[in-house]
Structure 1
C-alpha cells in the first residue's frame, strides 16, 4: 500500500508537471506528456513504482477498439478502491471515453485532479458535479442504467465526474500499491 510520505511525494511531483503541454507518448517535464505517461512519470519519480513502459499505442485506440488496454495497464500497478472508501491524495481515477477506459488523473486533494489533456496540457481541475453525466442537462445523459458484463478484475464505479467533456463518463477509482487478491463479487454499473 502507498504510504502517507509517498502520497505527499506523488502530489508534489504531480504538481511540478503543471503547464507541461500535451504530447502523445511523451514523458518530458515542461516539454510534453500524455495522460498515461504522466501517471508513469509521477509514480516513478515518487519512488512508488519502478520504471513503467506502456509500449506503443495509438492516440485513438479507444475509439476503434473495445479491449480495456488502458484499464488493464493501470491495474497492473493499482488496486480498486472498495465501494465507500474515500479517495486520498495520490489515488488515480480512470475514465471511459469512446468504447473503453482511456484517460487517467491523479487525485491531488479534496477532489482536485491533475491530468494531461489534448490542447490543454497538464492541468488541475475540480469535479464539475453540476455538469456530470449523472446530470440530466449533460449532453448524452441517459436516465436508463445499463448492465454490463464486467471482467472479474474491474474496480467499482465512482460517481464523480472530473471535467466537462462531451460524452458519458464512467470513472473508476484506484489506489497505487501491490496487487491484492480481488473479491469474487463484481459490482456493475
Structure 2
C-alpha cells in the first residue's frame, strides 16, 4: 500500500458533515469514523467493530480506547517520525485518554472530522502538536 493512496482517500472525505459515530463518506463521520472509512477503502474490512460510544466516553471511563485499538491494528511510530498517511491521536488534556484522531496528509497537515465543521484539512499547528499523543502507520505501508 502506498501512502499516496491513504492521503488521497482521506482528502476525498473533506466536506463530509460531522455525525457522531457515523462513517459514511459524504453522509457523515466523526474522527473515528473517518479513520474507519479510510481503513475500509485502503485495507479492507474493519478488523473489529467500534461499538457504541458517547461523546464523553473518555471522561466517563478513563480508558485509552483509541490508543489501545491503534496498538492492535496499526504500527506505532514516534511522533517525530510521522509521515503523510499516518494516523495521529490527540489528548486534549495532559494525562487524559487520547480522544481525537486524524490522518496526516502532509508532515504538518491532517484531515479530521471536527464537531461543528465536519471533515476538514487543518495545519498541525503548535496547538495541535502540543496535544499529539500517538502516531500509527497503516499495516502494509510501502515506504
What is the TM-score of this pair, normalised by structure 1? Answer: 0.66
Structure 1 Cα separation of the partners of residues 72 and 133 of structure 2: 18
Contact preservation (8 Å) 2:103, 2:110: yes
Structure with the largest fraction of strand: 2
Which structure's CA Rg is the greater one?
A: 1
* Residue number among 113, 123, 140 corresponding to 2:120 in the alignment: 123
Structure 2 Cα separation of the partners of residues 105 and 118 of structure 1: 13
How far 1:10 sits from its partner (Å)? 1.0
How far 1:170 sits from its partner (Å)? 4.3
Q: Deviations over 1:26-85 (max 9, x none)?
A: 111111100001101112111x24224211111110122211112112222112114652
Which structure has the higher relative contact order (CA within 8 Å, separation 6+)? 2
Q: 2:89 aligned with 1:94, yes or no?
A: yes
Q: 2:77 aligned with 1:113, yes or no?
A: no
Contact preservation (8 Å) 1:54, 1:73: no
Q: Secondary structure at the match of 2:91?
A: strand
Structure 2 Cα separation of the partners of residues 116 and 170 of structure 1: 16
Which consecutive unaligned segments of at least 5 residues does structure 1 have? 134-159, 162-168, 179-189
Structure with the largest fraction of helix: 2
**Alignment RMSD, CA only?**
1.9
What is the TM-score of this pair, normalised by structure 2? Answer: 0.85
